[in-house]
């Protein structure tokens, strides 16, 4: 297990709420004294008068802890002044400066390679450490520590979207050992996290294989039925092919009596938020049953915005754009939504859960129908006109029972593996936090065995 070194000389630090103590030979510095901080305003819009560039955006930072040349970056354009100011180079740290949740802010990625024409994109802060004082990889590990990011969560402002000011970054406090010790901490963490990441990778591979098996089972059931000998017909949908001959093919607008969306009340009006009414954002959609939402609005907001509607339990939700495009959920409580969610309710002759599985099975093709370049959008019109295939209600019930029975065992194993991954990741975070705050001494190359990690049996 993770061991803390009791021989370390620890000094109490007052006035720094996110850390209680650090080793006596360490220092505390505001980030602005050891690095430059720039907020990027370079977006995806293009112009013939600008120069083509690659853009590292917030999605890349969320997805990758290290920025390397094998990432598929967004193609964009920028002015020469923007290229000069926001080009990235080895040693830089890119950090998200806003998010839908304050606890999901200040996520960082370390630039591990020099990449021609790569710029820091919008929604990100470009932090360039003074290489004589601060190792960028050490700083990146700091941002991996929940304890360190706590100060950013407290400084984030907003209601529906939370943001950090440049001063929030500049005035943040970092623990600072000597550059030599930083390098040793980085080397130690590189070695130890690599072992942990290998464990996670193996378990994630098993999860992916089981999820693929689960998805194939669902896809087969909701597109071909349970009888392999049933007569088939051409669906008339190019990417779907043949379906059972007795199945109906109808547009969603003819299946659901109601299809709508919602809106976002004025984020500057506090009287609209933190009420009793669940309000769904696309980040809440979980490809399953949705019992709780991350945000709530008031009755005042509901009455002041005609585009806000309270949808009943059983409503099917689909994300129309953004990072969650195509994600689904079935409401288990009454709730309103923002404008990025499409709500389908009050079905005729169709079980909503069957439609849920059908959309999930064909998500890749549905998302491919999206319009727009920078932020593809499967609009309400696309959803309304989407044709799906379905059998009589008795056969739908049989298919749903089949899916529930067959996926139950898979889901149980997946849940167990996900819990093991969660334990490993918690251990990883604890190890990083302990190293970057001096709670373990890595100067003598302390080794941590991965065999003692409590991940349970497979």
Per-position b or e across 270-302, b if 16+ CB within 10 A of its CB: eebbebebbbbbbbbbeeeebeebebbbbeebb
DSSP conformation class of 18? T
Per-residue pLDDT at 455: 57
Q: How confident is the model at residue 308 (pLDDT cuts 50, 70, 90)?
A: very high
DSSP conformation class of 311? B
Query: How does pLDDT run across 248-270, given as a tens digit for each residue?
Result: 999 999 999 999 999 999 988 99
Angstrom distance (rounded) from CA 77 to CA 121: 11
The number of beta carbons lying within 10 Å of the beta carbon of residue 26 is 17
The number of beta carbons lying within 10 Å of the beta carbon of residue 12 is 7
Per-residue pLDDT at 240: 83
Per-residue pLDDT at 98: 85
Q: Could you tell me where the DSSP H helices lie in 102-173?
A: 136-143, 146-155, 166-170
Asked whether 344 and 259 are in contact (CB, 8 A), the reply is yes
Mean per-residue pLDDT, 241-246: 93
Instruction: Report domain 27-176's class.
Output: alpha beta
The number of beta carbons lying within 10 Å of the beta carbon of residue 205 is 11
Is pLDDT above 90 for 302? yes
Strand blocks (E) in 253-409: 256-260, 273-280, 288-290, 295-297, 316-319, 328-331, 336-337, 341-347, 387-390
Query: How does pLDDT run across 38-57, given as a tens digit for each residue?
Result: 999 888 765 556 889 999 98
Query: How does pLDDT run across 330-375, given as a tens digit for each residue?
Result: 999 999 999 999 999 999 999 999 999 999 999 999 998 887 655 6
Q: How confident is the model at residue 1 (pLDDT cuts 50, 70, 90)?
A: very low
Q: Is the pTM of this model over 0.95?
A: no
Give me the sign of the Cα torsion angle 6, 8, 12, 16.
negative
Per-position b or e across 48-66, b if 16+ CB within 10 A of its CB: eebeebbbbbbebbeebbe
Angstrom distance (rounded) from CA 161 to CA 360: 28
Residue spans of the domains in the chain: they are 1-26+177-208+398-458, 27-176, 226-390
Q: What share of the chain is helix, strand, coil (3-state, %, to 5)?
A: 35, 25, 40
Mean pLDDT (the chain) is 89
Q: Do domains 27-176 and 226-390 have the same CATH topology?
A: yes
Per-residue pLDDT at 8: 43
Query: How does pLDDT run across 192-240, given as a tens digit for each residue?
Result: 999 999 999 999 999 999 999 999 999 999 999 999 999 999 988 888 8
DSSP conformation class of 373? S
Angstrom distance (rounded) from CA 71 to CA 69: 6
**DSSP 3-state of 404:** helix
CATH number of 226-390: 3.90.220.20
Query: How does pLDDT run across 379-424, given as a tens digit for each residue?
Result: 999 999 999 999 999 999 999 999 999 999 999 999 999 999 999 9
Asked whether 71 and 60 are in contact (CB, 8 A), the reply is yes
Is pLDDT above 70 for 83? yes
What residues does 124 pair with on adjacent strands?
Answer: 96
Mean per-residue pLDDT, 432-457: 70
What residues does 347 pair with on adjacent strands?
Answer: 256
Is pLDDT above 90 for 314? yes
Nearest CA to 67 out of 76, 79, 54 is that of 54
Is pLDDT above 60 for 2? no
Q: How confident is the model at residue 21 (pLDDT cuts 50, 70, 90)?
A: confident
């Amino acid at each position: 297990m993770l061991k803390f070194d009791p021989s370390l000389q620890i000094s109490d630090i007052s006035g720094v709420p996110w850390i209680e103590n650090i080793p006596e030979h360490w220092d505390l510095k505001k980030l602005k004294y050891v690095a430059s901080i720039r907020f990027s305003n370079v977006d995806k819009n293009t112009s013939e008068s600008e120069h083509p560039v690659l853009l590292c955006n917030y999605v890349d930072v969320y997805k990758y802890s290290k920025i390397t040349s094998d990432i598929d970056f967004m193609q964009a354009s920028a002015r020469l002044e923007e290229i000069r100011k926001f080009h990235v180079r080895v040693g830089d740290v890119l950090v998200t400066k806003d998010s839908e949740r304050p606890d999901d802010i200040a996520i960082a990625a370390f630039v591990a390679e020099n990449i021609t024409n790569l710029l820091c994109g919008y929604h990100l802060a470009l932090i360039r450490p003074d290489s004589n004082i601060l190792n960028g990889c050490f700083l990146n590990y700091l941002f991996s520590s929940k304890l360190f990011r706590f100060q950013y969560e407290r400084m984030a402002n907003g209601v529906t979207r939370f943001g950090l000011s440049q001063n929030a970054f500049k005035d943040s406090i970092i623990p600072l050992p000597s550059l030599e010790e930083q390098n040793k901490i980085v080397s130690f963490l590189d070695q130890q996290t690599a072992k942990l990441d290998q464990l996670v990778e193996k378990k994630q591979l098993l999860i992916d294989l089981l999820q693929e098996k689960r998805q194939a089972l669902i896809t087969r059931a909701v597109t071909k039925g349970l009888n392999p000998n049933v007569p088939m017909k051409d669906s008339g949908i190019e990417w779907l092919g043949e379906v059972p001959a007795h199945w109906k093919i109808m547009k969603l607008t003819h299946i659901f009596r109601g299809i709508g969306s919602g809106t976002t009340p004025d984020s500057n009006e506090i009287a609209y938020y933190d009420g009793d009414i669940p309000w769904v954002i696309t980040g809440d959609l979980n490809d399953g049953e949705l019992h709780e939402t991350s945000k709530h609005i008031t009755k005042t907001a509901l009455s002041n915005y005609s585009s806000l509607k309270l949808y009943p339990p059983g409503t099917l939700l689909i994300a129309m754009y953004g990072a969650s495009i195509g994600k689904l959920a079935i409401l288990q409580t009454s709730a309103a939504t923002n404008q990025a969610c499409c709500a389908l309710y009050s079905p005729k002759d169709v079980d909503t859960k069957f439609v849920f599985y059908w959309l999930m099975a064909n998500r890749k093709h549905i998302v491919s129908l999206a319009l727009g370049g920078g932020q593809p959008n499967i609009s309400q019109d696309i959803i309304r006109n989407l044709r799906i295939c379905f059998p009589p209600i008795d056969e739908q019930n049989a298919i749903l029972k089949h899916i529930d029975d067959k996926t139950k065992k898979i889901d149980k194993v997946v849940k167990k593996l996900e819990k093991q991954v969660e334990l490993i990741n918690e251990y990883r975070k604890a190890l990083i936090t302990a190293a970057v705050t001096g709670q373990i001494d890595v100067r003598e190359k302390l080794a941590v065995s991965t065999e003692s990690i409590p991940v349970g049996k497979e």
